[in-house]
Amino acid sequence: MLLLLRAEASPASLLERCKQLHIEAHLHRIGNRWAIQIPTNGHQTEALFRYEEVERILSDEIPYPLVQRWEGSVQIGEWRRGSSLLWIAGPCSVESRAQLVEVAYALKEMGVHVLRGGAYKARTSPYSFQGLGEEAIEWLLEVKALTALPLCVEILSERHLPLYDEIDLLQIGARNMDNYQLLQAVALQRKPILLKRNPQATVQEWLLAAEYLLLYGAPWVLLCERGIRSFERSLRYTLDVGAIPVAQRESRLPIIADPSHAAGDWRYVEPLALAAIAAGAEGLIVEVHPNPSQARSDAAQQLTIEQFKQLVQKATALCAALSRS
């Protein structure tokens, strides 16, 4: 088992105490704090936990103890967990200032809580649009100042972290779910993180990635189901609605769904979104564009502003029918 020490604690006295008790102890550095590994022994746990240096004991029997036992409040902007569905929406990629301003004001009027927008894009083809980078972030921050909408922006590299100081919700995309060095670096920013599930990942692997983020300093993690790989090719991915109640049972973290990437086609975004809500999702992240046919990335799956408005109305009615806030 691991004895995780408080951030300000020194391991010296506890190591000395282990030596006196003839307990084999090994010191580890985890993020900005120390952890001491000791053999599992039912009689040692309670005694060692009493030391003020120890924040918590991480058992070998529970693969993601921080995820399972996490307790805390979840709030971003005007949204607080349990008050309503969390709506995160915006274009796949930030393409111009005018595009971003138009969609941001429209979404705010509809009650969207967080504006999403891609600055650096991870694309399969090196010839595809890669995002506008720093210029996009400047426009996002300008629109944040104009609308007071918090921002959710995907981060692809540790090198970009200085540009994300004023981004409210840092997104780890599906491709980087198991990029553990990036997870550690982003978590050390002490900001909430949206963690998308890798389409090849099991629920346990997804939750273990969240464990990295909590362990290295993220105050809370927003889990996002966005579809898995299967033999079916009717949709871009198979939205794993069953993973939503499973992850809720295994963790105390909030869970939302991304119907846009699961569908890959705007015609299926709405039914997938409603299915996710029915399965227990606490919110949605949806791609919305003023003119999807002109979008420079993921044009086929983005909703128009009017289509998104209809989705919000139906989702609200569904929540009322399910007696959910």
Domain ranges of the chain: 2-61, 75-321
CATH superfamily of 75-321: Aldolase class I (3.20.20.70)
Candidates 254, 177, 179; CA nearest to 219 is: 254
CATH architecture, range 2-61? 2-Layer Sandwich (3.30)
Residue 125 neighbours by CB under 8 Å, 6+ apart = none
pLDDT tens string for the chain (325 positions)?
A: 788 888 788 888 888 888 877 788 888 887 777 888 888 765 555 666 677 788 777 776 678 888 998 989 999 999 999 999 999 999 999 999 999 999 999 999 999 999 999 999 988 899 899 999 999 999 999 999 999 999 999 999 999 999 999 999 999 999 999 999 999 999 999 999 999 999 999 999 999 999 999 999 999 999 999 999 999 999 999 999 999 999 999 999 999 999 999 999 999 999 999 999 999 999 999 999 999 999 999 999 999 999 999 999 999 999 999 987 6
DSSP state of 304: P
Q: Using CA atoms in the order 247, 251, 254, 259, what is the torsion angle rounded to 10 degrees?
A: -10
Specify whether the CB–CB gap between 131 and 153 falls below 8 A. Answer: no
How long is the chain? 325
218, two tokens: 């993220």
**Is residue 34 classed as helix, strand or coil in its secondary structure?**
strand
Residue 41 neighbours by CB under 8 Å, 6+ apart = none
Candidates 252, 157, 154; CA nearest to 207 is: 252
Question: Model's pTM, two decimal places?
Answer: 0.89
